[in-house]
Chains A and B, each alone.
Chain A
Amino acid sequence: MQNSLSSEVRADARVSATDEVLRVSDLKVHFPIMSGVLFKHEIATVKAVDGVSFALNRGETLGLVGESGCGKSTTGLAVLRMLTPTAGRILFEGADIAKHDAAAMRAVRRRMQMVYQDPYGSLNPRMTVRDIILEPLEVHGLADDRAAARARVDELLRLVGLLPDMADRYPHEFSGGQRQRIGIARALALEPTLIVCDEPVSALDVSIQAQVVNLFMDLQERLGLTYLFIAHDLAVVRHISDRIAVMYLGRIVEIARRDELYARPLHPYTQALLAAVPVADPEVEAARPRMIVTGEVPSALRPPPGCRFHTRCPSAMPVCKTIDPELTDLSNGRAVACHLHAPVRG
Chain B
Amino acid sequence: MSTPVLQVRGLTTRFRTDRGELTAVDDVSFDVGRGETVAIVGESGSGKSVTALSILRLIPSPPGRIAAGEVIFENRNLLELDNASIRDIRGNKIAMIFQEPMSSLNPSLTVGIQVAEPINEHRRTPWAAALEKAAELISRVRIPDAQSRLASFPHQYSGGMRQRIMIAMSLGCAPSLIIADEPTTALDVTVQAQILDLLKQITQESGTALMLITHDLGVVARYADRVIVMYGGRIVETAPARELYKKPRHPYTVGLLTSVPRLDGDTRRRLIPIDGQPPDLARLPAGCAFAPRCRAAVARCHHERPKLEPVSPTHQKACFANAELVVQ
Contacts and interface: CB of A to CB of B under 8 A. Distances in A.
Q: Check if A and B associate.
A: yes
Interface of A: 67-68, 175, 177, 205-211, 213-214, 217, 232, 234-236, 238-239, 258-259, 262, 272-285, 290, 292-294, 296-297
Contact of A205 (B44, B216, B224): B44
A259 B267 CA distance: 9
B245 A209 contact: no
Contacts of A276: 189-190, 192-193
A13 to B, nearest CB: 23
A296 B191 contact: yes
Interface string B233-246: 00000000110011
Nearest to B44: A205
Nearest to A212: B273
B146 to A, nearest CB: 16
A37 B255 CA distance: 56
Contacts of A274: 263
Q: List 10 A-B pairs, minimum CB-CB distance, nearest first.
A: A278-B218, A210-B273, A67-B188, A210-B259, A278-B222, A239-B261, A210-B271, A276-B193, A280-B217, A207-B274
B189 A281 contact: no
B277 interface: yes
A297 B274 CA distance: 36
Nearest to A218: B270
A235 B271 contact: no
B262 A280 contact: yes
Given A175-B277, A292-B193, A296-B191, A239 B265 contact: yes
Interface residues of B, number: 47
Given A207-B278, A208-B278, A276-B193, 13 more contacts: A68-B188, A175-B277, A206-B256, A206-B259, A213-B261, A217-B270, A235-B260, A278-B219, A279-B263, A281-B221, A282-B242, A282-B245, A285-B222
Most chain B beta carbons < 10 A, residue from A214, A235, A274, A280? A280
A205 B191 contact: no
B224 to A, nearest CB: 8
B274 A235 contact: no
A296 B222 contact: no
Contacts of A207: 43, 255-256, 259, 273-274, 278
B160 A296 contact: yes
B197 interface: yes
A235 B188 CA distance: 15
A296 B242 contact: no
Contacts of B205: none
19 contacts: A206-B43, A207-B43, A207-B256, A210-B260, A210-B261, A234-B189, A234-B263, A235-B265, A273-B189, A276-B190, A277-B189, A277-B218, A282-B245, A283-B246, A285-B222, A292-B193, A296-B161, A296-B190, A296-B191
